[in-house]
Structure 1
Amino acid sequence: MKATKYYLAAFVAFLIWGFFSLGLKPIHDYPSLDILFYRVFLGVVLMSLINIVFRRSIIKKDWTNFKNMLPNHKRQILFLTLGGSVLLMANWFFFIFVMNHVSVKAASFAYLVCPILTTVFAYFILREKLSNAQWTAVGISVFSCVLLSYNHFMDIFYSLIVAATYALYLVSQRKNSEMDKFLLLNIQLLVAGICMLPFYPVYSGALPTEGLFYGYLLIIVVVFTIIPLFLNLYALKGVSSATVGIMIYINPIINFLLAVFYFKEPVSVQQLSAYSLILVSIVVFNEKLLFRRHKKQLEV
């Protein structure tokens, strides 16, 4: 029961992200960098206001804890927090670029590769253990990705960049577990905003004047950024990086369905087969949780 809330948090986060294209596609005519700039800047303002107005006691508590840490521990926290900002910023830019200028399916494919990379990174960096069933699920995932990559080299190239940045972010933040998650996310966005600020006058386009842009931007920041990222970081407190990583598959499955049924992108039998295998891999990876709970219900 204790771990259920963490599983639920990860599930809801990736469920929300699965519908991200609905918020992003209507403003696809705007440059990817502009969307990234305003997404980060607005996110910083909103989160900072929430923390300063409603969560000052938590800020003081975390600052006191940080000051009392040993120097080596402080450096580790700073490195993970700042590194997380860079990885998050890179992931957002490449994802927006792929979604708006390559295809929705290519963006979807990125998050098919991501769980595999997350699992591998977690195994080698964090020494997280996986059961035989979970390694089987990883194998099924690899095979499904090979099916999807056939004759789509550029999709794989862009997808690997998006996947690697987010996989590394997940693994690094699993170790960065001592700070309040909402405050941690605020700091990471603030660092990203400060890093991007000098580039804004040079690389940004004309200031958007359409209310449509700012309306969708607000939805992107609140619904598709702050809420799911907070849930994602919260989930990492109670479940492994590999488990959260495998949940990422919820995102591309929804993306794929939207690409086919809403955006009317063409789909092949090969792609349908690959996505079906991904559903199987999710069940296999989480078989202990799913079938243990089912067994308990039968016993009751």
Structure 2
Amino acid sequence: MKFSKYYLAAFVSFVIWGFFSLALKPLKAYASLDILFYRVFLCAVIMSVISLLVRREVLKDNVRKFRAMPAKQRQRVALLTLAGGILLTANWFFFIYVMNHISVKAASFAYLVCPIMTTVIAFFVLDEKLSKWQWAAVLLSITSCALLSFANIADVAYSMIVALSYALYLVSQRKNAGLDKFLVLTVQILFSALILLPFYPKYSAEVPAEPVFWILIFLIAVLMTIVPLFLNLYALQGVTSSTMGILLYINPLMNFAIALFYFHEPINMIQITAYSLILLSIVVFNERFIFRKRQAAMS
């Protein structure tokens, strides 16, 4: 039951992110930094209000827990939490830039590379074990990414930066335990806001006056940032970083479908083959969970 609950949280978070381009593409006329500034600042305000007013007792309880931790554990939790804020900031900026100034498919490719990076990093850093089926899924993923890189060689550098930043975030937060996940996320976003604040006066344009900008930024901040990130951190309590990495493929598959059918970006047979392999790799990687659920339903 616990595994299913955490697994569902991870699945839902990536489905939500799959629709991100629908909210982000209409903001193409605005600078990537401006979108990032207002996204982070609005998230910081919303989450601070929730933590201080709605979840005040949780905040007090976690402050007590943090103070009661041994010095080394406190240092580790603080370091991993702040490092997560830095990695999120980098990931968001590069993703917004690639999505709006390169292509939706290039942003999608970043999250095709990311699961492989996450799985490999988790294998070496967290000593997470993989079955033969799961290694087969990783090989399928590598094959599909190799096919796509031949067709989009100019996009690979951008995609690798986006992928690496989020892969490191997932693996680092798997090791970040002991405090309430919503509170950890609040601290990370506040830290991200503090990182960006000194750059705002010099690098921001005029404050947008169009209502549609603020509607979409609010949608991105709440539905596309706070909700899925919290679900991600929650899911990491019960599923491995490797499983999270493979489930991350849901995001680029949805991005690819939206790029094709909604934004009408061109497609070729290599891309169709590569994305088909990705879909197959998700099924292969999760074969234990899929067939266990089927056996439970039949018994």
Matches within 5 A, 1:202-281: 202-281=202-281
Corresponding residue for 1:69? 69
| 1:102-131 deviation line (CA, Å, top 9, x unaligned) | 000000000000000000010111111111
- How far apart are the structure 1 equivalents of 2:296 and 2:215? 46
**Normalising by structure 1, what TM-score?**
0.99
| 1:122-178 deviation line (CA, Å, top 9, x unaligned) | 011111111111011000000000001104222111000000000000000000121
Cα offset for 1:48?
0.6
Matches within 5 A, 1:187-202: 187-202=187-202
Q: Secondary structure at the match of 2:205?
A: coil
Equivalent residue letter for 2:157: F
- How far apart are the structure 2 equivalents of 1:185 and 1:226? 8
Cα offset for 1:207?
1.1
Corresponding residue for 2:185? 185
Q: Secondary structure at the match of 1:179?
A: coil
- How far apart are the structure 1 equivalents of 2:217 and 2:142? 35
- How far apart are the structure 2 equivalents of 1:212 and 1:35? 13
- How far apart are the structure 2 equivalents of 1:256 and 1:246? 16
Cα offset for 1:265?
0.1
Equivalent residue letter for 1:120: V
Corresponding residue for 1:286? 286
Cα offset for 1:189?
0.3
Q: Secondary structure at the match of 2:263?
A: coil
Corresponding residue for 1:113? 113
Contact 2:77 2:177 in 1 (8 A): no
Structure 2 residue runs of 5 or longer lacking an equivalent are none
What percent of counterpart residues are identical? 58
**Normalising by structure 2, what TM-score?**
0.99
Corresponding residue for 1:155? 155
Corresponding residue for 2:82? 82
Structure 1 residue runs of 5 or longer lacking an equivalent are none
Tell me how many residue pairs correspond in the alignment. 299
Cα offset for 1:190?
0.2
Equivalent residue letter for 1:19: F
Moved more, 148-157 or 276-285: 148-157
Q: Secondary structure at the match of 2:2?
A: coil
Corresponding residue for 1:12? 12
Cα offset for 1:2?
1.8
Give every structure 1 segment of 4 or more consecutive aligned residues whose post-TM-superposition deviation is greater than 3 Å.
none
Contact 2:33 2:93 in 1 (8 A): yes
- How far apart are the structure 1 equivalents of 2:162 and 2:11? 20
| 1:220-239 deviation line (CA, Å, top 9, x unaligned) | 00110000000010000001
Corresponding residue for 1:50? 50
